[in-house]
Amino acid sequence: MSEGYEVYENPNGQVFLRKKKPTIISDSEIRVVDQGMRKYSDIEYYKLDTKNNAIIVYLADQDAETIEKLLPERYIAKYGGMEKALDSILEYSPMMRFILTDNEEKRFVVERYCFLGSIDDWINIGGPDKLENLIKRYLKHLGKESFFELF
């Protein structure tokens, strides 16, 4: 592979060769969001990704629990377990992101994806604040009706 390039796999499993992109998001900040998902959200199937100065939370588009019940054993065995079998089927969409706006103070804003036909874009729902505070306040809304009331 040429110097300055990397292999990147997006949350839906598409693989790309791309120029290495610097990120100001640290591994510890990604871990904080991951731990927050486990603590404050009921969502089991999610993926995290970073882009520039943002940590993006992707949720599965399909009902994973229903798919689990429908998968034949031979399919699960083919992929070496339920988790890998589901990973081969599920598709993910970005739902929430935490954007680092002040690197010195480590302040973030949080946005959710808006699905109104006239908008279909990110809308700011909170911050700037410490990442931990935003996580505690907003991750609990993922996968619930209250998510659509955030603005």
Over the stretch 4-40, which tens digit does the pLDDT of each residue have? Answer: 899 989 999 899 999 888 889 999 999 999 999 999 9
Instruction: Determine the Cα–Cα distance for residues 150 and 78; give it in Å rounded to an integer.
Output: 41
Instruction: Determine the Cα–Cα distance for residues 100 and 131; give it in Å rounded to an integer.
Output: 9
pLDDT 10s digits, 105-123 = 999 999 999 988 777 899 9
pTM (two decimals): 0.90
Q: Facing residues of 51 across strands?
A: 54
pLDDT computed for residue 143 by the predictor: 92
Enumerate residues 6+ apart whose C-beta is below 8 A from 87. 13, 79
69 vs 151, more confident: 69
The answer on pLDDT for 42 being more than 80 is yes
pLDDT 10s digits, 43-92 = 999 999 999 999 999 999 999 989 999 999 999 999 999 989 998 899 99
pLDDT computed for residue 32 by the predictor: 98
Quickly state the pLDDT bin for 150 (edges 50, 70, 90): confident
